[in-house]
Amino acid sequence: MNGKQIKKLLERTRLTEGRGFRLRDHDPDDTAPKVVREAEGEALLEAAVARLAELQTLLYADSGWSLLGVFQAMDAAGKDGTIKHVMSGVNPQGVQVHSFKAPSSDELAHDFLWRVQRELPKRGHIGIFNRSHYEEVLITRVHPELLERQNLPDALRGKQVWRDRLRDIAGWESYLARQGTVVLKFFLNISRAEQKKRFLDRIDKPAKHWKFRPEDVTERGHWDAYMDAYEAAIAATATEDSPWFVVPANSKWFARLVVVSAMIDALERLELEPPRVSPEDSARMIEARRRLELERD
């Protein structure tokens, strides 16, 4: 993809200011046909993954910056597949993917950001959160009874808990940016109709039975509450330092293209270069070359 295509794609999805944000203004079926055609999608995605691999090598060699990709979505929106395809070309040595499940008893004994802080990528690495700290203002907001397990003092369980947590998240992400971690957040925006279609596909195809959980349908019954929670979370935490990308996810190829384009754009903005070799090390390499050339095969 050229720079102009990437810029246009990201203009449609990047959110750096939450004021006035409404989720219903973002179409899950949008594939930006004037920017990229579906027939080109496969080739463009392959080229973009290759470019990301190049940039990840530079990131690893630089060892100053890190990149954190946060993925949130409703069930069946394609988080796993997107992560798999986008990261398929990069060196596994420089990438860590962490999937956050229901918190353990040890995690519940700490503050809600404790467990994610422990999984942040090292300098020079790309970290991927498959679900994240945002679950504490999404599923917990939809099911407030989950707060009971977190042993919060009674005075801290009022309605202000969601406002306070969103402020804490925004502040924490700003802190990460000041420490050299580039934070990109992706909401894979699937429609309710498309989710139903994918659920039925999982039920009808034995090879996909392992992907389906009956409780997913139960959670689907809270669709509107989840959309309200996502809207509030995105509006409160979209900043220049840690933008949200509201990614149309009804078309898997397009969602993957947007995600990899966002990562490429963020890494290219860092203007990474291979570390410079000192004169002393350069002299050692010249000597090493001379010795290698003198060796008898």
How confident is the prediction along the chain (297 residues), in pLDDT tens digits per residue? 667 778 888 888 999 999 999 999 999 999 888 788 877 888 889 999 999 999 999 999 999 999 999 999 999 999 999 999 999 999 999 999 999 999 999 999 999 999 999 999 999 999 999 999 999 999 999 999 998 888 888 778 777 999 999 999 999 999 999 999 999 999 999 999 999 999 999 999 999 999 999 999 999 999 999 999 999 999 999 999 999 999 999 999 999 999 999 999 999 999 998 877 778 878 888 888 888 888 887
Q: Diameter of the chain by CA atoms?
A: 78
Please tell me the pTM assigned to this model: 0.92
pLDDT at 275: 77
pLDDT at 1: 63
State the DSSP string of 216-278: HHHHHTTHHHHHHHHHHHHHHH--SSS-EEEEE-SSHHHHHHHHHHHHHHHHHHTT--PPPPP
- Which domains does the chain possess? 3-294 (3.40.50.300)
pLDDT at 255: 95
pLDDT at 127: 98
Q: Which pair of tokens denotes residue 33?
A: 């046909």
pLDDT at 47: 92
Residue 185 and residue 169: Cα distance in Å, rounded?
12
Residue 44 and residue 85: Cα distance in Å, rounded?
13
Q: Which pair of tokens denotes residue 114?
A: 């404790």
Cβ neighbours around 296 below 10 Å, total: 3
- How far is residue 170 from each of residues 25, 147, 177, 198, 283, measured CA to CA in Å? 23, 20, 11, 33, 48
- How far is residue 206 from each of residues 53, 75, 160, 196, 200, measured CA to CA in Å? 34, 19, 45, 17, 11
pLDDT at 273: 87
